[in-house]
Amino acid sequence: MSVTTAKNKRPLGFYVCSMAFTLERMAYYSAKFLIFMFVAATIATGGLGLTKAEAAIIQSNLVAFTYLAPVFGGYIADRYVGARYCIPVGLLLMSGGYYVGSMATGAAGMNLMVALVAIGTGLFKGNASAITGRLFNNKEQLDSAFSTQYSFVNAGAFIGTTLVGILYTGAFAKGEILGFRACFQMSALICIIAAIWFIFGSKFMGETGKKPFKAGEVKEVKTEVANKPLSKGEKKRVFAIVLVSMFSIVFWVFWYLTYLAAYDFGEYFINMNVNGFDVPLSWFDSLNSFACMALGPILGMLWYRLSKRPQGDLSLFKKLALGLAFLGSAFLMLVFAEISRGIGAPETAKASLMYLFAFGLLLTIGEMCFSPLGNSFVTKYAPAKLLGVLMGVWTFATFVAGKTYGYLYAITSSYSPIQAYTVVPAVLFVCAVILFFGDKKLTSLLEGDEEENLQEALEA
């Protein structure tokens, strides 16, 4: 059962889940950054002394499998254990994983860390989003709520990536030995704090998440209803979620590509010097996280106000189309940068840093239109008995993207910047047009249960 709240106000349980996301992402992004540096660093500086290729593989596995695992974590919460109990267990498993990383002496230890963190994330991520959605009686608040929660997520990412860069080379370093291991232990401690926070804060969630989603959260629901096969309308909604997840793969493949594109293009063709100060390319990550934090409440307010119009809010399909369009526009900034410095000009000809800044801002707006609204969409339309699994399907799309964008980069890097970054936005714009103008047909997939229920009532 949902937690009743005052008009236009969010339940306290929403903030419990959101802060748990902040802490978990703080630990995750700290460790994600550290993996590559730690594995590839020399033994003399406290690293493992392995190759950059091995470091990249371990890091990519962390990214990919933490998006695959929620499918299985959601299945557990749907059928066997309430999501509320899965979440702290997941956080403690992540904590154990980061501690294992701090003690690793080779690739095997790091791979064990990846496995534990992935399993823990599977129990945490999708289930925390599912609980968030179930806390609201008014489903019109969900787009706004998930956009705001996305700011909490990115606050953790921003703090993690900014803080760890200072700590491992400064406060936690001992002479020539960098503080990699202490930073992994810090991530482990943060996850323990997150688990304690969630356990004590769960009292603000009512009955939400105590039972497996398949069993339902309303005591009056009969067992035969929980075991009833999916209706025609429910099957159509499941199909809609899977279909949108396919577009999600397209979005995230190119979203991940933006980082490789930005670092590659920025290193050679962007003037990173501002008044004598060389802006680190790594700050591109911080720009994304900071912009997500700033835009979350703004877009949340925008979606809420649009929902109050007589004609209602924009459909989710149109919002997702906007996300794809903004991402495509981001790549156009690299096209404009290439034109401004002279197409095919040597590295000595540099484009303004403002092109890279605009690139980062546009991709963030696209991300904010796409990613948090997907969570809202699944929460609104997934059949209760499949809620956790379908939340996992949404994140599984990111797993597929994470495993394929490297190959796409290999293809695009064989072409000139003007060729590659003209084709990429064209693909994204085509997908955006399909979603935007196919809105009515796609929306029809979400309808039908009311008519079925009426027909069943007449036949009874």
Residue 456 covered by a domain:
no
Last residue of a domain, one of 189, 216, 243: 216
Dihedral pair phi/psi, residue 193, rounded to 5°: -60, -40
Q: What's the mean pLDDT when you consider all of the chain?
A: 83
| Residues 60 and 110 occupy one common structural domain | yes
Confidence check: pLDDT of 217 > 60: no
Cα atoms found within 13 Å of the Cα of residue 422, Cβ hemisphere only: 9
Among 190, 191, 186, residue whose Cα is nearest residue 167: 186
| Residues 334 and 395 occupy one common structural domain | yes
pLDDT at residue 216, rounded to an integer: 59
- CA dihedral sign, ordered 23, 28, 33, 39: positive
| Residues 262 and 116 occupy one common structural domain | no
| Residues 156 and 292 occupy one common structural domain | no
Among 251, 264, 411, residue whose Cα is nearest residue 337: 264
Provide the residue range defining the domain that includes 98.
Answer: 1-216
Under DSSP, the state recorded for 446 is T
pLDDT at residue 65, rounded to an integer: 87
**CB neighbour burial string for 122-144, b if at least 16 within 10 angstroms, e if fewer:** bbbbbbbbbbbbbbbeeeebbbb
Last residue of a domain, one of 167, 191, 216: 216
pLDDT at residue 333, rounded to an integer: 94
| Residues 257 and 319 occupy one common structural domain | yes
User: How many helical (H) and strand (E) elements, i.e. helices and strands, does the chain have?
Assistant: 15, 2
Residue 261 covered by a domain:
yes
**Nearby residues of 291 by Cβ (< 8 Å), 6 or more positions away:** 360, 361, 364, 365
| Residues 176 and 272 occupy one common structural domain | no
Select the more confidently predicted residue: 403 or 363: 363
| Residues 68 and 207 occupy one common structural domain | yes
- Cα separation, 218 vs 208, whole angstroms: 9
What are the tens digits of pLDDT across the range 307-320? 788 877 788 788 88
For 338, the 3-state DSSP assignment is helix
- Cα separation, 84 vs 416, whole angstroms: 50
For 270, the 3-state DSSP assignment is strand
- Cα separation, 262 vs 25, whole angstroms: 23
- Residue 158's pLDDT band (boundaries 50, 70, 90)? confident
Q: What's the number of domains the chain is made of?
A: 2
| Residues 372 and 267 occupy one common structural domain | yes
| Residues 238 and 211 occupy one common structural domain | no
- Cα separation, 140 vs 163, whole angstroms: 36
| Residues 308 and 255 occupy one common structural domain | yes
Among 342, 321, 286, residue whose Cα is nearest residue 164: 286
Residue 451 covered by a domain:
no
Residue 222 covered by a domain:
no
- Cα separation, 319 vs 331, whole angstroms: 19
pTM of this prediction exceeds 0.75: no
- Cα separation, 146 vs 376, whole angstroms: 6
For 351, the 3-state DSSP assignment is strand
Confidence check: pLDDT of 215 > 70: no
- Cα separation, 263 vs 269, whole angstroms: 10
What are the tens digits of pLDDT across the range 254-283? 887 776 677 778 878 899 888 888 776 667
